[in-house]
Structure 1
Amino acid sequence: MSEHKQQQWTCGADLVVRNLEAHGTTHVFGIPGAKVDRVFNSLEDSSIETVVVRHEASAGFMAGAIGRMTGKAGVALATSGPGISNVVTAAATATSEGDPMVAIGGAVKRDDLLKQVHQTMDTTNLFRPITKSSVEVTAPDTISEVMSNAFRVAETGRPGATFVSLPMDIVNMPATGDVLTSTRTPKQGAADEDAIKEAAAEIRNAKRPVILLGMMASRPENVDAIRALVKDCNIPVVSTFQAAGALNADQQHLFAGRIGLFSNQPADELIQKADAVITIGYNPVEYDPPLWNKVLRPIIHIDVVIPDMERNYRPTVELIGDINATVKRLKSELQPIDLSTELSQILDRVQNNRKFIAEKAPTLGGAPVHPFRIVKALEKLAGSDVNVCVDMGSFHIWLVRYFNCFRARQLMITNGQQTMGVSLPWGIAACLANPGQKVLSVSGDGSFMQCSMELETAVRLNCNLTHVLWVDQNYNMVAFQEYKKYQRVAGTKFGPIDFKAYADACGAKGFAVNSAEELETTLKAAMDYEGTSLVAIPVDYSHNSKLMEAVGVEGLI
């Protein structure tokens, strides 16, 4: 057998890019700099589109969004020092949200790694606590190994971010090596058979079982099995914010709503009354166990990884394996349950709440505009085919509680880190992942100004995107919580901006709503616009403090 002769490359950067192509990368998001410009130069000769952003954090957010939507790790590329450190927040967000992404950062040449020179920074240790792996390439011939492992780790198990540091001399010098890709991603089977039977016995013995869906439950490959389990077994369901869209419209009668942030929803009440909880794809970072698991009862944990054990989350049975296969196998061991009177009453109340909001929202007039009216107007315009990307702020609570959607991952939200400034970059990524499809992104005026420069990026990329702004000149989500604790607010107010003019200046089409009576027609005009548009809406947040209280939906008007 003759010895295999490995390929020779003019520079390490060429080998980096060939590995990106081999792993299915279609876009690289970033900003060049001297330490990493050789990689950007190599990208020019590849099939990959380079998306130049206005801030490196946005590059990371876009990469994470690609990962969430496609299951394949998105890629962010930035130069050394502050260039790649700006990606830290995005990497932490991706890991918390379960989004596969690979962050690649330039670095000073190896001789300078321990010296105080321009843009030197120990980025591998900087990224290590917030990623699934963080490594530096120390020899050009190991580039393929490092790149391949970065993708494999990012995409398998519970996905997340990985980081690769590329010293300047590594990417500039010649390299030897083959491009490495795994021929097939290893696939898990169903969980252990004895554990499945044990879990089924726990559920059969329960009088009031409840399913809690988490982030992995909303992955498209899992939703059909979960929907079949709910339908055939008649088990009530609650979900975290990130599991939005896991159920279909026909299962609304069994769905008590989404839980998170404040433990005061009917869904919280329903899960408190459960005598057994089946968690599917749930990560405690989505909703702290002490807020929903206040009593000792059996917990059946279904996921791809074992959970961290803690006082308020101690599963009785752990079903670790492919979620789709495990749920199917578990369903075969179960029969339909009879809903208890207690749980039925809560579910009936939730249905009545939905009906009340649907009827009341269109009648809420005046200015500023009530959140219910905005939520229901957006829900109607989005339908089932529009991806909706939601930032962090008070509007986030109104949307995740009351915006109905029935397609897996149609509603993209941040909850693990509750990161501000994600929605517009996510929306841009959604446009690139689904060319021609309308995308809706939503933020407050506070979170928008952390990413607003990417409006130009959206225009440059011909994104068919409408960005909706809830305007109140305040970091209101902080403000109403501060007032609850201290009876005053501190550090939350800022000044006005003419957002219509801002949008126009970036090349987008700007719209301004002056009252509720203009809302639907203005939103429709913005959504009908072919290209990038922005709608600024003055919002009435006077009832926000009640979002923390156990009040009915009538109390929010």
Structure 2
Amino acid sequence: MPKTRYGADVVVDSLRKHHIGLVFGIPGAKIDRLFESLEDGTAGNPKLIVTRHEQNALFMAQAYARLTGKTGVAIATSGPGVGNFTTGLMTASAEGDAVLAIGGQVPRKDLHRATHQSAPSTMMLAPITNYSAEIQDPENISEIMANAFEASQGPRHGASFVSLPQDVDDAPVKHDPIPYYNGAQRGPASHQQLSKLATMIAQAKLPVLLVGLRGADDKVTKSLHQLLENYHLPVVETYQAAGVVSRDLEKTSYFGRVGLFRNQVGDRLLAASDLVVTVGYDPIEYEPRNWNKEGHLRIVDLDSTGAQIDNNFQPEMQLVGDIADSLDDLAKLLSGYQLPEAAASRLAKFRKELVQEDKITEPTPNGKTSHPLAIVEAIQKQVNDDTIVSVDVGSHYIWMARHFRCYKPRHLLISNGMQTLGVGLPWAMVASMLHPEKKAVAVCGDGGFLYSGVELATAVAHHLNLVMVVWNDGGHYDMVRFQEELKYNKAAGVKFGEVDVVKYAKSFGATGLRVNMPSELNSVMAKAFKTPGPVVVDVPVDYSHNKELAASLVDSALG
């Protein structure tokens, strides 16, 4: 007699067909058969990573998506399990990461009763996802899964959610699952528009490319490199586009990153440009009201999706299509182009400013805490171009985003859409799972460390090869503190209390190290990178320099 195929088996079949290698989650009674199916020994099933919190499971799925280009998958049970997905789903949709959350649900007969763990999950999650559906018939599982995957990988990547009632999960399924569906393919933008853009670039005195999160995948970056090798156009990166300019192109095309405060070299270059070409730019990272506050910049938008128009972002043209293909065609149309001599001279001055901004101008006076730039430099010394570094949210994130050099896309992972606290460790864990031969790095504040530090237990259980560098300011939410002080000359609600980071790490079985004085910074960091398994480094930091981050603004408004 043939083996009975249950609803859970059809779900797993879909994961196999989409070549999903890792799935993250926490089990529960309403979805337990799906966990049984995942671990039934069938060849090609994804590896299940059981986490300590559903939010972290979704963060890990987000990292899997960003690092592989596939859809990341997380699973949780009904009620609070699904509820804990909310922050991760919101973050993934905001930041262009394709994820699929599968949530358990009460049996269909209980959907409208006040029963244990019953919640209108699809209604709750619809506003923050590209697709939110509840399976009402076991024979429809395969098609709903296909549509969920497709929606996550649309022109604007984001989150999908599928609600799986317990009785559908458990139900026998008669029909064969549908085959793998190859999603819609798009070509380059209009040839006529690309020709016009080539003419505009040729006529501009100082054209600049502003590359955003949708311009940061491997395919787009390859096409961008070819364009830059031929024409040496200057590039300003958003934080999530960090690394799109390779080391070979750094001296001719890299002019820093922009985000938060309008006072970077990239900001000054954009303000001086007479043609800004945005490539895969999403305003959620750095709103046009910051970098184009005066509203005078001439803008052309090249993207995979239509632009959001506002008072400070009204492109003369929108070139919508496959970004890589559009860049390839643009490169052909620019044949023979050279930057004007005056532009090259002006860019040389901007380049000197960029180098100068990485230097420590005022050392830390107390002899106990390290200057933020010294910590950035110490981390930089231990990594290479293949190292994946994830950055949590906090004051350290601004220092890292501005000053840490990265030469490959999606090797400096930053949450810059939602600025979600707690992503650093879960993201680095996935980097280690995908590349166990390399050391992955998480850079966190003490607040972000405590937010998801429970996953150190998961990291230890899987023997992950990672270093977590904790910038410790003694128990403050400092990114909030220094901005409150700039606004009100005082801070409120920012003290959460100190924790012994080293003891915390050791309690989970990880290695804990501490930098007791700035002179130890490089040696302790070197030891951390030579130590196998999860390592946590406690680095007391001098955040008195944070006000420098908001100094010398191009205009007087804070970002």
TM-score range relative to shorter protein: over 0.9
- Secondary structure of 2:447's counterpart equals helix
1:301 aligns with 2:301: yes
Match of 1:490 in 2: 492
Over 3 Å counting, the alpha-carbon distance change for 1:362 and 1:216 in structure 2 is farther
Larger mean CA deviation between 406-415 and 339-348 belongs to: 339-348
Match of 1:289 in 2: 288
Over 3 Å counting, the alpha-carbon distance change for 1:141 and 1:340 in structure 2 is same
Q: Tell me, in whole angstroms, the C-alpha distance in 2 between the residues paired with 1:401 and 1:10.
A: 53
Query: Contact conserved, 2:466 with 2:534, CA < 8 A, in 1?
Result: yes
Larger mean CA deviation between 476-485 and 246-255 belongs to: 246-255
Query: Contact conserved, 1:278 with 1:302, CA < 8 A, in 2?
Result: yes
Larger mean CA deviation between 108-117 and 418-427 belongs to: 108-117
Deviation of 1:201 (Å): 2.1
- Secondary structure of 1:442's counterpart equals strand
Query: Contact conserved, 2:17 with 2:180, CA < 8 A, in 1?
Result: no
Match of 2:541 in 1: 539
- Secondary structure of 1:452's counterpart equals helix
Q: Tell me, in whole angstroms, the C-alpha distance in 1 between the residues paired with 2:144 and 2:425.
A: 31
Over 3 Å counting, the alpha-carbon distance change for 1:363 and 1:393 in structure 2 is closer
Deviation of 1:184 (Å): 3.2
- Secondary structure of 1:534's counterpart equals strand
Match of 1:463 in 2: 464
Match of 1:13 among 8, 13, 28: 8
Match of 1:137 in 2: 135
AA partner of residue 314 (structure 1): Q
Over 3 Å counting, the alpha-carbon distance change for 1:373 and 1:364 in structure 2 is farther
AA partner of residue 70 (structure 1): T
AA partner of residue 323 (structure 2): I
Larger mean CA deviation between 179-188 and 22-31 belongs to: 179-188
TM-score of the two chains, using structure 2 as the length reference? 0.94
- Secondary structure of 1:449's counterpart equals helix
Larger mean CA deviation between 111-120 and 57-66 belongs to: 111-120
Q: Tell me, in whole angstroms, the C-alpha distance in 1 between the residues paired with 2:461 and 2:20.
A: 21
Query: Contact conserved, 1:240 with 1:259, CA < 8 A, in 2?
Result: yes
Cα distance per residue 1:481-522 (max 9 Å; x no partner): 111111110000121111111111101111011111111111
Over 3 Å counting, the alpha-carbon distance change for 1:77 and 1:347 in structure 2 is farther
Q: Tell me, in whole angstroms, the C-alpha distance in 2 between the residues paired with 1:274 and 1:208.
A: 5
Deviation of 1:458 (Å): 0.5
Query: Contact conserved, 2:364 with 2:542, CA < 8 A, in 1?
Result: no
Unaligned runs of 5+ in 2: 555-559
TM-score of the two chains, using structure 1 as the length reference? 0.94
Match of 1:400 in 2: 401
Deviation of 1:205 (Å): 2.4
Match of 2:381 in 1: 380
- Secondary structure of 2:453's counterpart equals coil
Match of 2:154 in 1: 156
Over 3 Å counting, the alpha-carbon distance change for 1:116 and 1:344 in structure 2 is farther
- Secondary structure of 1:542's counterpart equals helix
Match of 2:557 in 1: none
Over 3 Å counting, the alpha-carbon distance change for 1:23 and 1:353 in structure 2 is closer
Larger mean CA deviation between 190-199 and 139-148 belongs to: 190-199
Match of 1:262 in 2: 261
Over 3 Å counting, the alpha-carbon distance change for 1:181 and 1:159 in structure 2 is farther
Q: Tell me, in whole angstroms, the C-alpha distance in 2 between the residues paired with 1:155 and 1:183.
A: 12
Over 3 Å counting, the alpha-carbon distance change for 1:8 and 1:198 in structure 2 is farther
Unaligned runs of 5+ in 1: 1-6, 553-557
Query: Contact conserved, 1:474 with 1:492, CA < 8 A, in 2?
Result: yes
Q: Tell me, in whole angstroms, the C-alpha distance in 1 between the residues paired with 2:322 and 2:463.
A: 38
Match of 1:517 in 2: 519
- Secondary structure of 1:174's counterpart equals coil
Q: Tell me, in whole angstroms, the C-alpha distance in 1 between the residues paired with 2:247 and 2:360.
A: 18
Match of 1:228 in 2: 226
Over 3 Å counting, the alpha-carbon distance change for 1:298 and 1:353 in structure 2 is closer
Query: Contact conserved, 2:262 with 2:553, CA < 8 A, in 1?
Result: no
Match of 2:438 in 1: 437
Q: Tell me, in whole angstroms, the C-alpha distance in 2 between the residues paired with 1:361 and 1:328.
A: 45
Match of 1:555 in 2: none
1:69 aligns with 2:67: yes
Cα distance per residue 1:91-129 (max 9 Å; x no partner): 111111111110000011111111111111111011111
- Give percent identity, aligned residues only: 40
Cα distance per residue 1:159-200 (max 9 Å; x no partner): 111000001111112112322343534322111111111222
How many positions carry a matched residue from both structures?
A: 546
Query: Contact conserved, 1:207 with 1:340, CA < 8 A, in 2?
Result: no
Larger mean CA deviation between 233-242 and 80-89 belongs to: 233-242
